[in-house]
């Protein structure tokens, strides 16, 4: 079993700010986080930290031999929280040093006793202990009916998205020598994440190619369809031979990716993502390249529940009476904790109902290669910035509108009115398996 912990960037920032507050005599701060399980029935469960509280100053015990020690009231409060709401609890503290932190001998002696008490209170939930360093973290978790074991991966999700556990050193320094402006550790950070691409017909094929060139090396590819002749006008990597042999679109994308990076790890899924939800949940960032509104609604709901940033791309051409056809598209970053598709009006009851009314009679949507390239390039750029933060841009919603008739890509007119809002549809404490 491999376990991972995911924590929203907003919550991580609050914890780190609290850990830095001085105490009158304790050298460290201690807090607790609520925890939920996701992907519970798989061999790769995900622990989501959803709410943090700091131990009050008057619940510390003066002990010259300990960085910090808390009294029985603080521990009882943690036990009561677990019992009342049937949630897991993590003991949190910080060792203010660079690199991967570790638990001290006193931590090893005292904290597991708290974790054991929590397992008696709520035996069906994950309980654990986590120590933050300045830029890394280490954790151990006790899953239901198990013992404390090291967590394999700890990820902060947001802007930037960052793996806090150990990363392997990237060996090929020359390969990305032209993009060192992204940061000295950008190759490791990009290589550490897994991306999912849902739909490989148009924009998704561009994304697979460009993401590979950029340094992403772990992919989950979702598409059940084989290439046909009408795809050759836009599917990157597709050939006439592929059409003759009826190759799957995910097989073509896999070939493109591995031809760029022979060490890439790909998981081609010849089905709808709904049929393989565990594969989707394993992703750190998902690109949605779908045609329908309801498909987008389902994908965003799944990504929000499992704390996964979703980058949506799409375009369409509308016939206009007496005027040239109108080509339009969008690129949207749906980031947990920030406005969703419903918040910005991209999804609403009207367009969902209209789509449902014409279900099965949608016809063929016009598609060409160049707008897919523009939108996919923008989406890959958003993903790179999400990982490296090289632009130092404001975190949150991105909503770009594309006008193919004038070749303009700008912020959508609604952006300035909704960008600073939270999201009432997907609260950050509603994470994990339903």
The residue whose two tokens read 């017909």 is 201
Checking if the pLDDT of 362 tops 50, the result is: no
**Average pLDDT of the chain to the nearest whole number:** 93
Report, as an integer, the average pLDDT of 207-214: 97
Distance of CA 90 to the CA centre of its chain: 21
Checking if the pLDDT of 28 tops 70, the result is: yes
Burial of 416: CB neighbours in 10 Å, binned 0-12, 13-18, 19+:
exposed
For residue 125, which of 90, 159, 171, 156 has the smallest C-alpha distance?
90
- Specify the pLDDT at position 355: 77
DSSP 169: P
- Specify the pLDDT at position 210: 97
pLDDT tens figures, 411-421: 999 999 998 88
Q: What is the pTM (predicted TM-score) of this model?
A: 0.95
Asked if 416 and 394 touch (Cβ cutoff 8 Å), the reply is no
Asked if 394 and 336 touch (Cβ cutoff 8 Å), the reply is no
pLDDT band at 434 (very low <50, low <70, confident <90, very high): confident
Largest CA distance in the chain: 83
pLDDT tens figures, 121-180: 999 999 999 999 999 999 999 999 999 999 999 999 999 999 998 777 766 668 899 999
pLDDT tens figures, 82-106: 999 999 999 999 999 999 999 999 9
Asked if 196 and 289 touch (Cβ cutoff 8 Å), the reply is no
**Tokens read off for 256:** 């493109």
- Specify the pLDDT at position 43: 86
How far does the chain reach from its first CA to its final CA, in angstroms? Answer: 21
- Specify the pLDDT at position 359: 56
Domains and CATH numbers, the chain: 4-163 (3.40.140), 177-418 (3.40.50.720)
Checking if the pLDDT of 252 tops 90, the result is: yes
pLDDT tens figures, 35-50: 999 988 888 999 999 9
pLDDT band at 337 (very low <50, low <70, confident <90, very high): very high
Distance of CA 333 to the CA centre of its chain: 11
């Amino acid at each position: 079993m491999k376990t991972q912990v995911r924590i929203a960037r907003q919550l991580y920032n609050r914890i780190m700010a609290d850990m830095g507050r001085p105490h009158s005599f304790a050298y460290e701060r201690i807090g607790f986080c609520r925890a939920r399980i996701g992907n519970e029935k798989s061999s790769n469960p995900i622990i989501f930290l959803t709410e943090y509280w700091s131990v009050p100053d008057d619940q510390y015990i003066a002990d010259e031999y300990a960085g910090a020690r808390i009294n029985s009231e603080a521990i009882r409060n943690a036990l009561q929280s677990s019992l009342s709401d049937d949630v897991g609890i993590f003991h949190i503290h910080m060792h203010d040093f660079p690199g991967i932190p570790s638990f001290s001998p006193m931590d090893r002696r005292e904290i597991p006793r708290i974790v054991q008490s929590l397992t008696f209170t709520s035996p069906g939930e994950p309980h654990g202990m986590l120590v933050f360093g300045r830029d890394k973290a280490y954790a151990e978790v006790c899953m239901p009916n198990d013992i404390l074991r090291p967590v394999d991966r700890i990820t902060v999700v947001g802007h930037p998205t960052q793996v806090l556990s150990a990363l392997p050193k990237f060996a090929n320094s020359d390969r990305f020598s032209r993009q060192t402006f992204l940061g000295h550790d950008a190759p490791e950070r990009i290589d550490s994440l897994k991306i999912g691409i849902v739909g490989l017909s148009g924009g998704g094929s561009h994304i697979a190619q460009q993401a590979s060139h950029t340094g992403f090396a772990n992919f989950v590819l979702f598409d059940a369809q084989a290439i046909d002749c009408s795809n050759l006008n836009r599917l990157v990597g597709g050939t006439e031979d592929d059409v003759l042999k009826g190759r799957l679109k995910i097989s073509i994308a896999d070939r493109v990716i591995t031809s760029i990076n022979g060490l890439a790890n790909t998981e081609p899924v010849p089905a709808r993502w709904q049929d393989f939800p565990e594969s989707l949940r394993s992703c750190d960032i998902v690109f949605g390249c779908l045609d329908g509104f309801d498909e987008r609604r389902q994908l965003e709901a799944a990504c929000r529940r499992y704390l996964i940033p979703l980058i949506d791309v799409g375009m369409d051409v509308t016939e206009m009476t007496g005027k040239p056809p109108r080509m339009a598209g969008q690129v949207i970053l749906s980031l947990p904790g920030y406005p969703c598709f419903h918040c910005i009006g991209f999804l609403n009851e009207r367009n969902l109902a209209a789509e449902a009314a014409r279900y099965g009679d949608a016809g063929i949507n016009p598609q060409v290669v160049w707008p897919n390239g523009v939108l996919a390039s923008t989406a890959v750029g958003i993903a790179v910035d999400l990982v490296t933060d090289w632009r130092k841009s404001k975190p949150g919603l991105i909503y770009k509108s594309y006008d193919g008739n004038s070749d303009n890509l700008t912020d959508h007119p609604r952006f300035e009115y909704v960008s600073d809002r939270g999201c009432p549809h997907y609260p950050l404490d509603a994470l994990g398996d339903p």
